[in-house]
Amino acid sequence: MNKRDKDKLLILLVIVAYIAITVGMIVGTSYLDWKAIIAITVALEYFIIQPRLCRLYYEASNSKAGIGRFIPFWNEIMMFKSSNAIATLVSYATLALSIVVFFIPIEFIGNLFGDKIMLNFGVLMIRVIAVLIVVNCICVGIGFMNVGTKIRRMHAEFTDGGHQFATGSLATILLFIPIVRVVTLAGYMNLLIKLVVLNNYAQGVKNAEQLVEEN
């Protein structure tokens, strides 16, 4: 099986997975193990789609992603422009730190800051973590929006503006929501497979006038 066949198979598997999830939702929630669905979706995003998306994104930019594309969370930061990458990295670091602080023994907090802060510490940290999660979602969403903008520019460059690729408002909104953003990312990956794998696209290199949709 060559690389093109593998990429086509990956697209098929992603489609089948989301059809299965959709059917499950229609059949009824009482039969669904939501923890398993969330775990599978997260694994699909960070261990299959994002590594492949990262590799194709770098190849389209005449570069190589390296082994970093297999590291969860880091692989998405690798695709962001520097300002987005720094903001996202800081948001992940502060979120991770706040979660660690949340699990500090309450007795230690009381000895260090007094009873008043100790009694309100749990509620305060939950609020802080909630805010940091929202900030992180915004940072990641903006980062992927810029990735999508660059992919659309690549598509326009390849077709000399003859084919317009656009994502709807819902697809853009999904980028700001953990787990379900994988739907939009799968669309980005599919477009890059068409550009890089099927059409040998490379940014800044003159390409064929006709976009090959499948092979």
User: Rounded to an integer, what distance in angstroms lies between the CA atom of residue 203 and that of residue 34?
Assistant: 41
Are 191 and 175 contacting, i.e. CB atoms less than 8 angstroms apart?
A: no
Does residue 204 fall inside a structural domain? no
Q: Cβ contacts of residue 31 below 8 Å, gap of 6+?
A: 24
User: Rounded to an integer, what distance in angstroms lies between the CA atom of residue 53 and that of residue 45?
Assistant: 10
Does residue 26 fall inside a structural domain? yes
Does residue 213 fall inside a structural domain? no
Whole-number pLDDT of residue 7: 54
91 pLDDT higher than 70: yes
What's the pTM? 0.78
pLDDT tens, position by position, 149-203: 998 888 777 776 555 555 678 888 989 999 889 889 988 998 888 888 777 776 6
Does residue 211 fall inside a structural domain? no
User: Rounded to an integer, what distance in angstroms lies between the CA atom of residue 179 and that of residue 41?
Assistant: 6
Does residue 210 fall inside a structural domain? no
Does residue 207 fall inside a structural domain? no
Q: How sure is the predictor about 90, in pLDDT bands with cuts at 50, 70 and 90? A: very high
Residue 20, domain extent:
3-197
Whole-number pLDDT of residue 215: 44
Whole-number pLDDT of residue 27: 58
Average pLDDT of the chain, as a whole number: 81
Q: How sure is the predictor about 9, in pLDDT bands with cuts at 50, 70 and 90? A: low
pLDDT more than 70, % of the chain: 74
Does residue 202 fall inside a structural domain? no
Most confident among 26-30, 113-117, 119-123 (mean pLDDT) = 119-123
Q: How sure is the predictor about 95, in pLDDT bands with cuts at 50, 70 and 90? A: very high
Report which secondary-structure segment, H or E, holds 52: helix 50-60
Domain count, the chain: 1
Are 77 and 88 contacting, i.e. CB atoms less than 8 angstroms apart?
A: yes
Compute how many other C-beta atoms are within 10 angstroms of the C-beta atom of residue 166: 8
Compute how many other C-beta atoms are within 10 angstroms of the C-beta atom of residue 185: 23
pLDDT tens, position by position, 11-48: 666 666 666 666 665 555 556 667 777 888 888 889 98
Whole-number pLDDT of residue 167: 62
Does residue 203 fall inside a structural domain? no
